[in-house]
Structure 1
Amino acid sequence: MKGLKTRLLAAAAALGAAVLAPAAAQAARSWVLPSTTTLSGANAWVTVDAASSDELYFPDLRPLRIESIQVLDADGQSVQPQSPAMGKFRSTFDVQLTKPGTYKIASVSTSVMASYTENGEVKRFRGSGEDFAKQVPAGAADLKTIRTLARSETFVTRDKPTDGALKPTGQGLELVPVTHPSDVVAAEPATFKLLLDGKPAADLEVTLMRGYEHWSGKPSAELKAKTGPDGAFKVTLPQAGLWWISASYRTGETGRGGPPPPGAMGGMPGMGGPGAPGGGEGGRGPQGPAQPLAGDGYSASYTAVIEAQLP
């Protein structure tokens, strides 16, 4: 009973903190979390959770969709995740590491919000990049688009570190490890580089947080860094454990000012809410005449879970 009372008091304190700091409480964080980051031997498997939550690694908002999952083996070849399942708060799947080396496991989603004119009437679109190409007429009049690319990933190594899976795609915001993810050690400096569409992402703020603080009653340890002209940043993680790295880029319009088109669905591709490709039901009902977007825009976000090993 004493333990239960303590947990209830902690929950009440957390609720009070949420009232005092609503912005922090509402900050959704997406993550792809492996059961381990290092393995050895031929029969090597890892179980992975993928979700978006208020607190790191404590799924309480929505799953990342199984359709968004991409796995690259040590040679950079695509691998199919095993035993995939999507619940209310998280997705989970297994990956067999059949080859020695480093695997990259990611959730990658794209979305497009657009407005255009057809037969004198403003039309609105919101969905995946693939649906945009299919549903919006090529050469549409007065076309304005806001494109979003979100990437969340992690790295798992069997036997020895390799670089085959770490090559950037040139799309969105990506991390290029200078220090290999398997070689990150607590209390020792590590260097990483961020690319935006294949080019150095200069002057971006990077947030690093240590998870698994839900039951400790303490806020997650948080660090800040900024990328240099070459997109690189250096950080010394003070504690061992699974650290979450986050950065984002935005230019132009956000699309938040005008009402959505009739029947538009909220949410992001890759997330488990309405509006994700293949996910959720959802129109909001009639919203009145569609309004054109104010202009073009582009945003890219990146998160990664990397383990800092004990010295």
Structure 2
Amino acid sequence: MQCAFFSTALMASAVTHAHNSWLLPSDTSKGGKGGWVTFDLAVSTEFFSFDATAPKGVSVQILAPDATQSEVQNLVEGKLRTSFDVEINQPGTYKIFTASSGLNARWETADGKRGFWPPRGAKADPAEFATAVPKDAKNLEVTQASRRIETFVTLGAPTKAALKPTNQGLELVPVTHPNDLAVSEPSEFLFLIDGKPAVGAKIEVIEGGSRYRLSPGEQRYETDKNGIVKIQWKKTGMYWLGAEYKDNKATKPATVRSGNYSATLEVLVD
């Protein structure tokens, strides 16, 4: 498996908060024999501006159209963004993504102070859970959290081999291909949580360039009983799509299961 590794963690949440993570490609489609695409991985308060410290401690993976791993090239880790290149030379659709999961806990101590595990910036080791959390912790909430950030690039005709779900965490399964989005018609996506329909997942869509508008102009949706959401795009352009899901179907010691997902998508004319 070919990955690129960085040195601190991405923001945990996908649906809009003070800061949001995103992965922006310089192109979402290529013709002819293909070529190079540059990607920016960043955290910001506005889409798609560089106004916060660059994310660290992230592995980026490239899934080629034949579902094999491709390579990250020319990695540059800057103050406000991490950039890299990918050679798009295989016909079909590439998926570029980061994914992570782990336990986290929060509680109140006997004297009313808040406790957290793991410490900020650290990775949870499940073997340390029993000793890290006080036995007299009050209002203990243990969460099994998953996070995924994606974007897609297609050479020639769109394909779906690289888009198959892993059945781990919150995932988008395209009904409408993510590189075939048109402003004139709604796009349909299926969301899964650990391989099953994510019923009632909260979805938010925001067009890029939000710093030039008085308000973000977000569109909010919720998945139906089958985990499906239909999105009507307002106009052409680059969009950030965020999804968030939470339930109590967790594996012990977790009591809460949560999933966060985001994707950068381009909407074109017919």
| TM-score class, shorter | 0.7 to 0.9
Q: Which amino acid aligns with 1:161?
A: P
Alignment match of 1:301 (pick from 245, 251, 260): 260
Q: Find the partner of 1:36 among 27, 41, 54.
A: 27
CA distance in 2, matches of 1:123, 1:178: 39
Question: Following the alignment from structure 2 to structure 1, what is the Cα–Cα distance between the partners of residues 75 and 57?
Answer: 7
2:229 aligned with 1:203: no
Q: 1:89 aligns with which of 80, 85, 95?
A: 80
1:149–1:200: structure 2 CA closer, same or farther, 3 Å change rule?
A: same
* AA partner of residue 230 (structure 1): N
Please identify which structure carries the higher helix content: 1
Q: Flag the 1:73–1:130 CA change in 2: closer, same or farther, 3 A.
A: farther
Output the aligned Cα RMSD.
Answer: 3.1
Query: What do the CA deviations read for 1:1-41 (whole angstroms, capped 9, x no partner)?
Result: xxxxxxxxxxxxxxxxxxxxxxxx96211111100101112
Change (3 A) 1:134 1:82: farther
TM-score normalised by structure 2 residue count = 0.78
- Distance (whole Å) between structure 2 residues aligned to residue 26 and residue 195 of structure 1: 22
**Which residue is equivalent to 2:100?**
109
Distance (Å, rounded) in 1 between the aligned partners of 2:121 and 2:164: 24
1:47-58 superposed matches below 5 A: 47-58=38-49
Displacement after TM superposition at 1:245 (Å) = 0.8
Once residues 302 and 171 of structure 1 are traced to their aligned partners in structure 2, the CA distance between those partners, rounded to angstroms, is 12
Conserved? CA contact 2:117–2:124, under 8 Å: no
- What is the match of residue 234 of structure 1? 230
Q: Could you tell me how far apart the structure 2 residues matched to 1:129 and 1:70 are?
A: 21
In 2, Cα distance between the equivalents of 1:103 and 1:43? 12
Q: Is the 8 A contact 2:118 2:124 kept in 1?
A: no
Q: For residue 169 of structure 2, what is the aligned residue in structure 1?
A: 172
Change (3 A) 1:78 1:102: same
CA contact (8 A) 1:66 1:91 kept: no
User: How far apart, CA to CA, are the structure 2 residues paired with 1:134 and 1:207?
Assistant: 36
Partner of residue 191 from structure 2, selected from 190, 194, 200: 194
Amino acid at match of 2:163: L
**1:38 maps to amino acid:** S
- Quote how far apart the aligned CAs of 1:218 are: 3.5
Q: Does the CA contact (< 8 Å) of 1:112 and 1:128 recur in 2?
A: no
Structure 2 portions without partners, runs of 5+: 1-15, 107-114
TM-score (structure 1 length as normaliser): 0.68
Q: Offset at 1:236?
A: 1.3
Instruction: Give, as a single letter, the amino acid of the residue that structure 2 aligns with 1:299.
Output: S
SS at match of 2:89: coil
2:192 and 2:155 map into 1 onto residues whose CA distance is: 26
- Aligned partner of 2:245 in structure 1 is 249
- When structure 1 is superposed on structure 2, of 163-172 and 101-110 the one drifting more is 101-110
Kindly provide the amino acid, as one letter, of the partner of residue 182 in structure 2: V
The 3 A distance-change label for structure 1 pair 125 and 64 is closer
CA shift in 2, pair 1:124/1:52, >3 Å: closer
1:148 alignment partner, SS class: strand
SS at the partner of 1:165? helix
Q: Secondary structure at the match of 1:250?
A: strand
Alignment counterpart, residue 159 of structure 1, candidates 117, 137, 156:
156
Unpaired runs of 5+ residues, structure 1, are: 1-24, 116-121, 253-293
- Structure of larger gyration radius: 1
The offset of 1:57, in angstroms, is 1.0
> 2: distance between equivalents of 1:297 and 1:129?
20
